[in-house]
Structure 1
Amino acid sequence: MAAGCTRRTTLLAAGALLASATLRHAAAADRPVVRAGILKFGTVSWELDTVRANGFDRQAGIELQLVELAGNPATQVALQAGGVDIIVSDWLWVSRMRSKGEALSFIPYSTAVGALVVPAQSAIAGIGDLRGKRIGVAGSPLDKSWLLLRALAADRHGLSLDRDAQPFFAAPPLLNSKIADGDLDAVLTFWPFAARLEAKGMRVTMTVTDMLEALGQPATVPSIGYVFREDWARANPAALAGFQAATSKAKTLLAESDAAWERLAPLMQAEDDATFRTLRDRYRDGIPRRWTEEERAGAAKLYALLARLGGRELVGDAPTIAPGTFWTGGA
């Protein structure tokens, strides 16, 4: 008799699990799926992992799927090929693609940018002190931060950093290693890598936001954003609106709750508490506070400056930002 009861209990439990799974599958089938292309340890994964862990996607009526890719070029290829629905990139790239006939659009993700970092005891106090110095630059000679630094150096100090300093272009991790070893005098790098140097006691001499303000440019324009195909957005308005609602909730939670960051520690790869705190705080600093016509006009103004500084190599044949670069069709 006991064995019979056990078998019936097992069958009932199995039936309940199957019914629960079926209901979950049905519920998921009713929600549009949004596939986001991410880098496993990129800062975007912090926000989107928070969305999924807290069920913000389901609350917003969508099912968020994270597709891990090998690098930023891979995310762009995946978006263009239809392998994912949303990635993170900058609006310069979006505008350039639109100018080539590929209708992509942008909504804000972060205003966080890079910084010029020097060793704690460095005599470099400002841009005018960079003459003859070894400057590590993240990316290529067309990196936007480098173009702005060059423009400011020429405008304020009569310096041609290409000629009057020793620029060294490389990937951010290598630059962090070289300045730690004393092989570089300064590093101009992306904000997560600047934060790691700052946490180790190095000094931020000037942020890219400071450079923008000094050049009379808007400093609150989101530097990078969520990018998607316009035809997908128009065909799936509920999916895009749900994604915006879910990521907004994640941003709010990460802005207000220190506890929400604890579970993100493995993704952040912070080697110590100081790095963890600095990465958290710099992410929070970059949460966009406004996205109005004023910010979009500011981006168009900044585009014109970057087009002048970087030329066709940076922006292609379009001297002005392409219409439709910034999505205004929904929430």
Structure 2
Amino acid sequence: MPYSKAVGTLMIPADSSLRSLGDLLGKRIGVAGGPLDKSWLLLRAHAQKELGIDLAKEAEPVFGAPPLLNEELARGRIDAVLTYWHYAARLEAGGAKPLLTVADMIRRLGIDHDVPMLGYAFREQWARNESVALQGFVAASREAKALLATSQEEWARLAPQIGTDEPAVLATLQAGFRAGTPEHWTPAERQAAADLYAILVRVGGDKLVGRAKVFDAKTFWPSVAY
């Protein structure tokens, strides 16, 4: 079942001269995770569609952990960083700016509906046996997201777990969380997920999906919809 449609953002320094996808050619791009990170694969797919090039060859990807890459961007050792949304939020609160979000990439790849990129997984047999508990969990998850979307007090209460009590950082994190909350989960969004999977298969190949070349419709539990 869906959790969030927020994944990542391509961030650049406040004084960067980068303005478009084409400006990334020849640049050092920090990538949180590894070569099979889905945000990186989608950026490569976007560049292939728009420019006819493979950024893995036409730019210099630098793979690493998000905190390290944030520091590398601050020190000017990389030109941009493709990182997870909550690390991007911290960068933005510190003055960096977004060049392109993963949501932008998905739309420009021709997918018009929101696609949850993170989700909850559970055993099929458990869901069949505990349908009431499952629906209760779905409702509780949506209520919690609605609360976090609107309440600054809840974010202040969570500050010790987040690791900062800076109002600017908390506000940016809240905005990013709110933007990532799925509003709908219907057959249209399920089809969009299948379409996106096909793109990832094309770019990531066997190393990403192995023999699972076709999206399995059973991935999503049928009774969860809103």
Given that 2:29 and 2:79 are in contact with CA atoms closer than 8 Å, whether structure 1 keeps it comes out as: yes
Please report the RMSD computed on the Cα atoms of aligned residues, expressed in angstroms.
1.4
Q: What CA distance in whole angstroms lies between the structure 1 residues aligned with 2:113 and 2:77?
A: 31
Given that 1:131 and 1:159 are in contact with CA atoms closer than 8 Å, whether structure 2 keeps it comes out as: no
SS in 1 for 2:53: coil
Given that 2:149 and 2:178 are in contact with CA atoms closer than 8 Å, whether structure 1 keeps it comes out as: yes
Q: Which amino acid aligns with 1:231?
A: Q
- In the alignment, structure 1 residue 125 sits paired with structure 2 residue 19: yes
Q: In structure 2, list runs of 5 or more residues that go unmatched.
A: none
Q: What CA distance in whole angstroms lies between the structure 1 residues aligned with 2:188 and 2:95?
A: 37
User: Residue 295 of structure 1 corresponds to which residue in structure 2?
Assistant: 189
Q: 1:169 to 1:219 in 2, by over 3 A?
A: farther
User: Residue 147 of structure 1 corresponds to which residue in structure 2?
Assistant: 41
Q: Which amino acid aligns with 1:183?
A: R
Aligned length: 225
User: Residue 164 of structure 1 corresponds to which residue in structure 2?
Assistant: 58
Q: What CA distance in whole angstroms lies between the structure 2 residues aligned with 1:330 and 1:151?
A: 30
Bigger radius of gyration: 1
Q: 1:190 to 1:241 in 2, by over 3 A?
A: same
SS in 2 for 1:115: strand
Q: What CA distance in whole angstroms lies between the structure 1 residues aligned with 2:209 and 2:169?
A: 35
Q: 1:202 to 1:289 in 2, by over 3 A?
A: same
- In the alignment, structure 1 residue 283 sits paired with structure 2 residue 164: no
User: Residue 6 of structure 2 corresponds to which residue in structure 1?
Assistant: 112
Q: 1:176 to 1:136 in 2, by over 3 A?
A: same
Q: In structure 1, list runs of 5 or more residues that go unmatched.
A: 1-106
CA positional deviation for 1:219: 4.8
CA positional deviation for 1:223: 0.9
Q: What CA distance in whole angstroms lies between the structure 1 residues aligned with 2:53 and 2:164?
A: 37
Given that 1:209 and 1:219 are in contact with CA atoms closer than 8 Å, whether structure 2 keeps it comes out as: no
Q: What CA distance in whole angstroms lies between the structure 2 residues aligned with 1:255 and 1:152?
A: 30
* Larger RCO (alpha carbons 8 Å, 6+ apart): 2
User: Residue 265 of structure 1 corresponds to which residue in structure 2?
Assistant: 159
User: Residue 226 of structure 1 corresponds to which residue in structure 2?
Assistant: 120
Over 6 Å off, 4+ runs: none
Q: 1:130 to 1:250 in 2, by over 3 A?
A: same
Given that 1:118 and 1:203 are in contact with CA atoms closer than 8 Å, whether structure 2 keeps it comes out as: yes
Q: What CA distance in whole angstroms lies between the structure 2 residues aligned with 1:318 and 1:120?
A: 41
